[in-house]
Amino acid sequence: MKKILQLTMLLVLAGAAGCNDDKFLNKEPLSDLTTDEVFSSSPQVFSILANLYNRQVDIATVKSWMTMADFSESFVSDNGADQVAILRRTSWNYDSWNSWDYAYIRDINLFMERAEKATVLSEADKTRFLAEARFLRANYYFELVKRMGGVPLILKTLVYDYSGSAEYLQFPRAKEHEVYDFVISEAEAIKSLLPTDANQKGRATKAAALAMEARAALYAASIAKYGSSNTPQVTLPGNEVGIPASMAAGYYAKALTAAKEIISGSAGAYSLYNKKPNDLQENFASIFYDKGNNPESIWVEDFQLKTVKVHNFTIANQPRFGAEEEEGGRINPSLNLVQAFEKIDNTFAPIPVKDASGNPIYYDKQIDAFAGRDARLGGTVILPGSSFKLRPVDIWAGYQLPNGNILSGDDRGSQRPLPDGTTAQVVGFDGPIVGKEHTAQTGFYIRKYLDPAIGSGSRGTQSELPYIRYRYAEVLLNAAEAAFETGNVAEAAGYMNQVRARAGLVTPLKAADITFDRIVHERRVELAFEGHLLNDMKRWRLAHVVWDGERLTEAELLANIGKANKKSTQPYSLLPYKIYNPGQPNHNKWIYKVAISNLVTGSNRFRLGNYYSFINDDIRSRNPKIVRQPNQD
Amino acid sequence: MKMKISYIMMAVLLTASFISCKKDNYAPPQSMFSGRLVYKGEPINVEVNQVPFQFFQFGFGKVGAINSTFDQDGKFSALLFDGDYKLTVPANQGPFLWKRTANGSQDSIAVKMAGSQSLDVEITPYYMIRNAVFTAADNKVTGTFNLEKVVTDVNAKNIERANLYINKTQFVSAGDYNIASAQLTAAQITSMTGITMTVGIPAISPTQNYIFARVGLKLAGVEDMIFSPVQRINF
pLDDT at A1: 60
Name B174's Cβ contacts closer than 8 Å, sequence gap at least 6.
A90, A549, A550, A603, A605, B47, B163, B165, B181, B216, B225
Torsion B141-B142-B148-B149 (CA) sign = positive
Interface of A with B in 219-248 (CB under 8 A): 231-233
Going by DSSP bridges, is the β-strand pair A398-400/A573-579 parallel, antiparallel, or unpaired?
parallel
Residue A633 pLDDT > 90, yes or no? no
Residue A17 has pLDDT above 60, yes or no: no
Query: A233 and B92 in contact by Cβ < 8 A?
Result: yes
Report helix, strand and coil shares of chain A as percent, to nearest 5. 40, 10, 50
- Chain A positions touching B163 (Cβ under 8 A) are 550
Tell me the C-alpha distance between B168 and A189, whole Å: 62
| pLDDT tens, position by position, B70-111 | 999 999 998 988 888 889 898 888 899 888 888 878 888 888
With b for 16 or more beta-carbon neighbours within 10 A and e for fewer, the A153-180 pattern comes to bbeeeeeeeeeeeeeeeeeebbbbbbbb
Residue A425's H or E segment, with its range, is strand A423-425
How far, in Å, CA of A226 to CA of A244, rounded?
10
Per-residue pLDDT, A429: 92
Q: Which DSSP helix (H) or strand (E) runs through B145?
A: strand B140-149
Query: Chain-centre distance of CA A188, in angstroms?
Result: 25
Which of A232, A550, A603 faces B163 most closely, judged by CB atoms? A550
Average pLDDT, whole number, for chain A? 91
Q: Tell me how far apart the alpha carbons of residues A49 and B71 are, in angstroms, rounded to a whole number.
A: 54
Among B52, B175, B223, beta carbon nearest to A608: B223
Closest by Cα among A148, A239, A230, A143 to A543: A230
Residue B179 at interface with chain A, using a CB cutoff of 8 Å: no
| pLDDT tens digits, one per residue of A170-228 | 999 999 999 999 999 999 999 999 999 999 999 999 999 999 999 999 999 999 999 98
Asked whether the beta carbons of A446 and A331 are under 8 A apart, the reply is: yes
Contact A528, A337 (CB under 8 A): yes
In whole angstroms, give the CA distance from residue A33 to residue A64.
Answer: 33
The pLDDT confidence band at residue A13, using thresholds 50, 70 and 90, is: low
Partner A contacted by B223 (CB < 8 A) = yes
Looking at the partner chain, which of A90, A605, A631 has a beta carbon nearest the beta carbon of B92?
A631
Q: How many CA atoms lie within 13 A of A376 on its CB side?
A: 26
Q: How far apart (Å, rounded) are the C-alpha atoms in residues A256 and A482?
A: 6
Going by DSSP bridges, is the β-strand pair A331-333/A74-76 parallel, antiparallel, or unpaired?
antiparallel
Closest residue to B181, CB basis, from A91, A550, A605: A550
**Residue A149 clears pLDDT 90, i.e. is over it:** yes
What mean pLDDT is predicted for residues A529-548? 93
Residue A88 to chain B, least CA–CA distance (Å): 9
Does the CB of A40 have a partner CB in chain B at under 8 Å?
no
C-alpha distance from A233 to closest chain B C-alpha (Å): 6
End-to-end Cα, chain A, rounded Å: 88
pLDDT, tens digit, 9 for 90 and up, residues A150-164: 999 999 999 999 998
Residue A15's pLDDT band (boundaries 50, 70, 90)? low
Distance CA A572, CA A568 (A): 9
Q: pLDDT tens, A265-320?
A: 999 999 999 999 999 999 999 999 998 889 999 999 999 999 999 999 999 999 99
pLDDT tens across A30-85, in order?
888 888 888 888 888 999 999 999 999 999 999 999 999 989 999 999 888 888 88
Q: How far is CA A514 from CA A73, A208, A491, in A?
A: 24, 27, 10
Please judge whether A232 and B67 are an interchain contact, meaning their C-beta atoms are less than 8 angstroms apart: no
- How is A564-607 classified by DSSP, letter by letter? TT----S--EEEEEEE--TTSTTTT-EEEEEE--TT-----B--
pLDDT of residue A334: 94
What ipTM goes with this model? Answer: 0.80
- 3-class secondary structure, A104: helix
pLDDT of residue A208: 95
Half-sphere exposure of A459 (CA within 13 A, CB side): 4
Give the model confidence (pLDDT) of A483-496 as tens digits: 999 999 999 999 99
pLDDT more than 70, % of chain A? 98
Of the pLDDT bands very low, low, confident and very high (cuts 50, 70, 90), residue A19 is: low
d(CA A369, CA A385): 10
Domain A35-64+95-267+613-622, CATH 2.60.40.420 — does that match?
Answer: no
DSSP string, A164-223: S--GGG--PPPPHHHHHHHHHHHHHHHTTTS---TT--SS--HHHHHHHHHHHHHHHHHH
Q: What does the angle CA B174 – CA B179 – CA B185 come to, to the nearest 5 degrees?
A: 50
- Cα–Cα distance between A39 and A109 in angstroms, integer? 15
Domains and CATH numbers, chain B: 31-124 (2.60.40.1120), 127-234 (2.60.40.2060)
Please give the DSSP secondary-structure letter assigned to residue B136: E
Maximum alpha-carbon separation in chain B:
98
Nearest Cβ partner of B175 from A232, A549, A630?
A549
Q: How far apart are CA A460 and CA A458, in angstroms?
A: 6
Find the CB nearest A90 among B90, B92, B175.
B175
Q: What is the pTM of this model?
A: 0.89
Q: Distance between CA atoms of B194 and A560, rounded to whole angstroms?
A: 28
Touching A: B residues 102-141, CB under 8 Å:
none
What pLDDT, on a 0 to 100 scale, did the predictor assign at position B21? 56
- Gap between the Cα atoms of A142 and A150, Å rounded: 10
CA-CA-CA-CA torsion sign (A150, A151, A154, A158): positive
Q: A586 vs chain B: nearest CA distance in angstroms?
A: 33
Residue A18's pLDDT is: 54
Cβ-in-10-Å burial (0-12, 13-18, 19+) of A623 comes to middle
Q: Map out the domains of chain A as residue ranges.
A: 35-64+95-267+613-622, 65-94+319-449+541-610
What would the pLDDT profile of A309-350 be if each residue is shown by its tens digit? 999 999 999 999 988 888 889 999 999 999 999 999 999 999
Backbone angles phi, psi at B127, to 5 degrees: -135, 160
Nearest to A320 by CA among A435, A437, A424: A437
**Nearest residue in A to B165, CA atom:** A550
**DSSP assignment string, A244-289:** -GGGHHHHHHHHHHHHHHHHTTTT-------S-TT-HHHHHHHHHH
Q: Does B88 touch chain A (CB under 8 A)?
A: no
3-state secondary structure A463-491: ECCCEEEEEHHHHHHHHHHHHHHCCCHHH
Q: Output the CA–CA distances (angstroms, integers) from residue A456 to A305, A359, A463, B11, in the order listed.
A: 9, 43, 5, 72
Decide if A542 contacts A565 (C-beta within 8 A): yes
Backbone angles phi, psi at A182, to 5 degrees: -60, -45
Helix (H) or strand (E) holding A139: helix A123-148
b/e code A563-592 from CB counts within 10 Å (16+ = b): ebebbbbbbbbbbbbbbbeeeeeeeebbbb
Distance CA A338, CA A599 (A): 20
Where does the pLDDT of residue A148 fall: very low under 50, low under 70, confident under 90, or very high at 90 and above? very high
Instruction: Tell me the one-letter amino acid at B190.
Output: T
What's the confidence (pLDDT) of residue B62? 60
Nearest to A395 by CA among A322, A455, A313: A322
Cis status, amide bond into A432, omega within 30 of 0:
yes
User: Does B181 lie at the interface with A, CB-CB under 8 angstroms?
Assistant: yes
Instruction: Give, for all 235 residues of chain B, the pLDDT tens digit.
Output: 556 777 888 777 777 666 655 566 778 888 899 999 999 989 999 998 889 898 888 776 566 788 889 999 999 998 988 888 889 898 888 899 888 888 878 888 888 888 889 989 899 999 999 999 999 988 899 999 999 999 998 888 899 899 999 999 999 988 888 888 898 988 898 888 999 999 999 888 888 889 999 999 999 888 899 999 999 998 8
Nearest CA-CA partner of A473 in A548, A406, A525: A525
Contact B174 A550 (CB under 8 A): yes
Long-range contacts of A59-62 (CB under 8 A, 24+ apart): A59/A97, A59/A143, A59/A146, A59/A147, A59/A531, A59/A534, A59/A535, A60/A529, A60/A530, A60/A531, A61/A301, A61/A467, A61/A531, A62/A311, A62/A313, A62/A449, A62/A463, A62/A465, A62/A467
